[in-house]
Amino acid sequence: MEKEDLRTLESAMYISDADFPVSTLQNRFKQSSTALLAITFILFFAYSGIKFWIHRKTGFGNDKAAMQELPEILPIFVRVVEYDLAPSLLVFFCIMGLGEFYVFAAIFGYFIICVGALLTISYKMNKPQMIKTFRIMLVAFTVCGFFNIFIDNMIFTDASPDRLLSFAYPGNQ
What is d(CA 97, CA 111) in angstroms, rounded to the nearest whole number? Answer: 20
What is d(CA 59, CA 56) in angstroms, rounded to the nearest whole number? Answer: 5
pLDDT tens digits, one per residue of 68-122? 788 888 889 999 999 999 999 999 888 888 877 778 888 888 999 999 999 999 9
Least Cα distance to 14 among 172, 162, 173, 163 occurs for: 163
pLDDT tens digits, one per residue of 35-77? 888 899 999 999 999 999 888 888 777 777 777 788 888 889 9
Domain ranges of the chain: 23-151
Answer whether 0.75 is exceeded by the pTM: no
Handedness of CA 121, 126, 130, 131 (dihedral sign): positive
What is d(CA 115, CA 87) in angstroms, rounded to the nearest whole number? Answer: 14
